[in-house]
Amino acid sequence: MDKLLISGGRSLEGSLRASGAKNSALPILASSILLKDKMTIRNIPHLNDITTMIELLSSMGAEMTVDENMDLEINSSNLENPLARYELVKTMRASILVLGPLLSRYHEAEVALPGGCAIGSRPVNLHIDCMRQLGAEIDIVDGYIKAKAKDGLKGGNINFSNVTVTGTENAIMAGVLAKGTTTISNAAKEPEVVDLVACLRKMGAKIFGEGTDRIEINGVNALEPCDYSVMADRIEIGTYLTAVTMTKGNVSIKCSLPSVLETILDKLKIAGANIQIDEEGINLEMDKIPNPVNISTAPFPLFPTDMQAQFIALNSISKGKSKVIENVFENRFMHVQELIRMGGNIRLEGNTAYIEGNTKGLIAAPVMATDLRASASLVLAGLVAKGQTKVDRIYHIDRGYERIEEKLNLLGANIERVSE
Ligand code: UD1
Distances (CA, A) of 157 to 84, 129, 133, 296: 26, 11, 7, 31
95 lines ligand 1 (CB under 6 A): no
Pocket test residue of 165, 195, 303 for ligand 1, highest count of atoms within 8 A of CB: 165
125 lines ligand 1 (CB under 6 A): yes
Distances (CA, A) of 189 to 176, 235, 332: 18, 15, 22
Q: What confidence category does residue 120 fall into, taking pLDDT thresholds of 50, 70 and 90?
A: low
117 is a catalytic site residue: yes
pLDDT digits (tens, 9 = 90+) for 4-42: 999 999 999 999 999 999 999 999 999 999 999 999 999
pLDDT digits (tens, 9 = 90+) for 152-162: 999 999 999 99
**What is the CA(274)–ligand 1 centre distance, in A?**
32
Q: What is the pLDDT of residue 314?
A: 98
Give me the sheet containing 281-285, strands edge to edge.
13-17, 250-254, 281-285, 274-278
What is the average pLDDT across 323-351?
95
- Nearest atom within ligand 1 for CA of residue 328: 30
Strand partners, 416: 5
What is the average pLDDT across 125-146?
94
Q: Helix 48-59 vs helix 22-31: angle between axes, to the nearest 10 degrees?
A: 10
Averaged pLDDT of the chain: 94
- Nearest atom within ligand 1 for CA of residue 235: 11
Can you say whether residue 61 is alpha, beta or left, with left for phi > 0 and alpha for psi between -120 and 50 degrees? left
Distances (CA, A) of 140 to 111, 112, 129, 144, 298: 10, 9, 12, 6, 31
Residue 118 has pLDDT above 70, yes or no: no
**What is the CA(166)–ligand 1 centre distance, in A?**
6
**What is the CA(260)–ligand 1 centre distance, in A?**
19
The percentage of residues in the chain with a pLDDT greater than 90, rounded to a whole number, is: 86
Q: What is the pLDDT of residue 8?
A: 97
Q: What confidence category does residue 54 fall into, taking pLDDT thresholds of 50, 70 and 90?
A: very high
Enter the pTM of the model: 0.96
Side-chain half-sphere of 248: how many Cα atoms within 13 Å? 12
pLDDT digits (tens, 9 = 90+) for 399-410: 999 989 999 999
Q: What is the pLDDT of residue 117?
A: 59
What is the average pLDDT across 284-301?
97
For residue 335, how many other CB atoms are within 10 A of its CB? 29
What is the average pLDDT across 263-281?
95
* 43/175 Cα distance (integer angstroms): 26
- Nearest atom within ligand 1 for CA of residue 120: 26
Q: What is the pLDDT of residue 123?
A: 85
Residue 115 has pLDDT above 60, yes or no: yes
Q: What is the pLDDT of residue 78?
A: 87
Q: What is the pLDDT of residue 200?
A: 98
* 256/383 Cα distance (integer angstroms): 27
Nearest alpha-carbon partner for 338 in 370, 292, 360, 302:
370
Residue 350 has pLDDT above 90, yes or no: yes
328 lines ligand 1 (CB under 6 A): yes
117 lines ligand 1 (CB under 6 A): no
Q: What is the pLDDT of residue 304?
A: 98
What is the average pLDDT across 345-359?
95
Question: DSSP for 255-305?
Answer: -S-GGGGHHHHHHHHHHT-EEEEETTEEEEE--SPPPP--EEB-STTSB-G
What is the average pLDDT across 112-125?
73
Residue 116 has pLDDT above 70, yes or no: no
Q: What is the pLDDT of residue 80?
A: 85
Q: What is the pLDDT of residue 96?
A: 95
pLDDT digits (tens, 9 = 90+) for 371-384: 899 999 999 999 99
Residue 119 has pLDDT above 70, yes or no: no
pLDDT digits (tens, 9 = 90+) for 163-215: 999 999 999 999 999 999 999 999 999 999 999 999 999 999 999 999 999 99
Closest CA to ligand 1's atom 39: 166
